Amino acid sequence: MKLCPLPCKTSRYTSLLGLALALASSGAAAETFTMPAPNSDTIGEIAYTKALQEDTLLDVARRFSLGQDEIVLANAKVDRWYPREGTQVLLPKLFVLPDAQRNGVVLNVPEMRLYYFQPKKGTVESYPVSIGRMDWKTPRGMTRVVEKVTNPSWRPPETIKREHAADGDILPDVVPPGPNNPLGKFAMKLGIPGYLIHGTGVDKEYGIGMRVTHGCVRMYPEDIAQLFPVVPAGSPVQIVNQPVKVGWNGQDLYIEVHPPLEEDNLDYDQLLAQAMNLLQKKVEKHAVPEIDGQALKAALKDPTGVPVLISKPIAAQQSKGAGVLGTETPAAGEASAGSNRS
């Protein structure tokens, strides 16, 4: 695995590590990062790996705790089902943190990623998740973890039972704990009735990072096994809708853009308005940078989920005089671009 550019790192045992991970029966659990300073907003690094002969992009995603849509968006020119042995695959492991309180669980719905902040320990963890389909939306707002359950039973609501019955799949009133239980081995009930953060059954382990659930938040088995023990009951949970994120990494300003939720129907102008509001907020306590308008425009028009540098180097700004926020930003109008769910 190769990491870059913050800074680029290499390792003599990379190939052996990759092989070991590939042969493992399950993926690697998500990483734990040091909490960035209050005036910094990024964690992780961009990384690269090479596909193995038997790999799909889904295999690579599972190996590195990434979501399915996440890795596909970041590798638009790589075949999802047959990337070919030796193909370089970008691992989008650099994250701009959501604009939210850095405490407890933060779920950014369009990003399909969950963050867990532990201020007392000075750490933050990040996990890919699946969210609700368009017709079964994952809720938004503030809530809490109200109960934690090991080896949960699943009691499908009547609405879900009718949906399955229409396809000839008759669900029982109760699905007991076991490998085919869609809640997996661990579940955290939220204060919003019927909604959970949970694992998954063996038949859906590779379906993380998509809009496929009935509103709940679904995680890789190895990820929920890591998260479940450290999140106490009562922990705050913030569920936000932020397709556009802006943040500082040292003196560099990045933007990270994800495809908006289909039902929000946001066009380019609306995404640009969100970006400009966030930019104004981010420069309140920093020197005002000069913005690379072309990079900003490209990030908004073609969301990849990969953070993009949008501030120009300080040296270049000094040679031209003080930079002004928005001097090259693209103008609006340029283009339009009891029962539990599972």
Active site residues: 198, 216
| DSSP 8-state class, residue 105 | E
List the structure tokens of 51: 């596909």
| DSSP result, 3-50 | E-SSS-B--TTHHHHHHHHHHSSS-PPPPEEEPPPTT--EEE--EEEE
The span from the CA of 94 to the CA of 155, in Å, is 38
Report the C-alpha gap between 63 and 24 in whole angstroms: 9
For residues 303 and 307, give the distance between their C-alpha atoms in angstroms, rounded to a whole number.
Answer: 10
Question: What residues are paired with 89 via a beta bridge?
Answer: 49
Integer Cα distance of 99 and 41 in angstroms: 9
Helices (H) and strands (E) in the chain, counts: 8, 19
| Of the candidates 137, 98, 113, the residue with the CA atom closest to the CA atom of residue 219 | 113
Side-chain-side CA neighbours of 57 within 13 Å: the count stands at 27
| E strand map for the chain | 2-3, 32-34, 42-44, 47-50, 88-91, 94-96, 104-108, 113-118, 123-128, 131-132, 141-150, 186-190, 196-198, 211-213, 217-218, 236-240, 244-249, 252-257, 308-309
